[in-house]
Amino acid sequence: MATVTLTEAATSKFVQTGAVSNNIKVHYNEAGSGHPVIFLHGSGPGASSWSNFARNVGPFSEKYRAILMDQPGYNKTDVRVINEGETRSQVNGNSVVGLMDALGIEKASLVGNSMGGATALNVAVDFPDRIEKLVLMGSGSGGGANIFNQQPTEGSKVLNEVFDDPSVEGFRKLINIMLYDGSTVSDEILEQRYQSTVGNMAHVEARAKSSNASRDISSLLGNITAPTLIIHGFNDRVVPFENSLRLLAAITTSKLIAFQKCGHWAQFEHAGEFNRLVLDFLDND
């Protein structure tokens, strides 16, 4: 079957969520039908689930109801300041459940990259009956100290620099760190990410005002029973490979696959292999 060609505009939707997600309006892209699979993007400036998963949504929509959610503050989803006593990963996790409630989805599989992986882990810990399967790529590990890698990483430092002073040149520097081969990203995509950032300064300002507190759920990861596929680029300079090893050790229903010549965006850099592996994982018990 030929891969479906989809556009961001044709799949764009909004939904009003309820109290669990602080009543925010969420933007998402949707294609296909069947069992719902919710895709969750990372935390980079100008990020959206469409920009993260444009190379994946077509193949997934042929078998599943693919939902590409923009997390709070990103792209066209309402801006949300993270207040004292809150953490971004838990707020994001609650927003996923708010989206599911608003769309009448009882259970879904979650596919999360970087921050999106941390979001997915928080949903799995707080709302285990809402999760079918988990796919985590270059994911946050849910807390705990890294032994072999200095924090913050090189990629995290540059990401914060670009948030503080966005420019097309800064985005090129960031992409060259995030990907094994940054030349695969066109200047047009960089310009789009830049425009998405400067066109949403309310998010940049809210991020600056937000609490930086993190939630440590490392002691709870062993409670996750959902089948979990962990994917990591061997050349990731943003999230240490050690994170995925710790997830593998903690989640007894997990398995880990590493991609050579791959940075932080496995779903982008190795889209064909990623699509095949994840679809096979979702298709089989």
The domain spans of the chain are: 8-283
pLDDT tens for 210-260 read: 888 889 999 999 999 999 999 999 999 999 999 999 999 999 999 999 999
Residue 156 burial by Cβ neighbours in a 10 Å radius (0-12, 13-18, 19+) = middle
Say whether 264 is catalytic: yes
- Residue 234 is predicted with a pLDDT of 96
Residue in 27, 41, 203, 264 annotated catalytic:
264
Q: What value does the mean pLDDT take over residues 37-51?
A: 95
- Select from 244, 285, 284 the least CA-distant residue to 264: 244
Q: Give the up-direction half-sphere exposure of residue 144: CA atoms within 13 A in the CB hemisphere.
A: 20
- Select from 4, 244, 213, 17 the least CA-distant residue to 113: 244
- For residue 109, give the 3-state DSSP assignment: strand
pLDDT band at 203 (very low <50, low <70, confident <90, very high): confident
Q: What value does the mean pLDDT take over residues 94-98?
A: 98
In this model, does residue 285 exceed pLDDT 80? no
Q: Give the up-direction half-sphere exposure of residue 136: CA atoms within 13 A in the CB hemisphere.
A: 33
The fold for domain 8-283 equals Rossmann fold (3.40.50)
In this model, does residue 280 exceed pLDDT 80? yes
Q: What value does the mean pLDDT take over residues 18-25?
A: 96
- Residue 239 is predicted with a pLDDT of 94
